[in-house]
Structure 1
Amino acid sequence: MTDWKILAIKHSWSTLLLDSEAAGALFYEKLFALDPSLRSLFKHSIEEQSKKLMDMLTLMIVNLQSMDKIKEEINALAKRHEQYGTRPEHYQTLGIALMQTLEIQLADQWSPELAESWQEVYTIWTEAMIH
């Protein structure tokens, strides 16, 4: 990833974090609208799950320049998701829900260039999770 793309992602994420509860709730609303069967994979309240999601994404975004530092955490996350019943094909649906959430939450800040940056980083994360 280029430095510009990393900076764009970090800046947009900091904007989104101003209302992280709304962003997390919207993500799960979009996710379950895309695939209602995924709801059964989540045992915790959506509020609790949303906080975990936002925390993990923040960790991953903070470490974009040094993903190798959190490789073990990503591997552990991937194993947990596999135990929960997440299948490789679910990551495409998650990516669509994430992109929809970002587009809505970032509104005027959203652009084709920012969408491309987010798609690139999501692909990197997905490949690390599925390995």
Structure 2
Amino acid sequence: MKLSKRTLLKLKNKNKKLKPEKYKQLKREALRGQIKGTLERPRLSVYRSNENIYAQIIDDTNSKTLLACSTLDRSMKLYIANGRTCDASRLIGEKLAELSLKKNIKKIVFDRGPYLYHGRIKALADGARAGGLQF
């Protein structure tokens, strides 16, 4: 079930019994219907928690994760003291771009998920662009 943003807001305002988890799921499905990753242009999916940030490059046609990088990786722990800063997100973006260029992935589709393109999400995208990825 793919719903537009306007429909989601109407549902949220009309139906007070709509649980937050259900609303998040509807929002995620609406966004996921628009963004698809192929082998030529895989999807860069971002997950942000309060403590860390995770990024994956995914081929949706084969349902395979091609690359993954996060602030919990041992190689990244040397450079960052805290995983919840914009500097850490930028480093993750640059590291992911470096790994993807080794696998000959240059063009991607950016999937920010349910998060706004601001702060740590934007820093990760800027780091990936600085590393050589094209969105």
Q: Which has the higher strand share?
A: 2
Structure 1 or 2, whichever has the larger Rg, is 2
Task: Give me the TM-score of the superposition, normalised by structure 2.
Answer: 0.34
Q: Which has the higher helix share?
A: 1
Q: Does 1 or 2 have the higher relative contact order (CA < 8 Å, sep 6+)?
A: 1
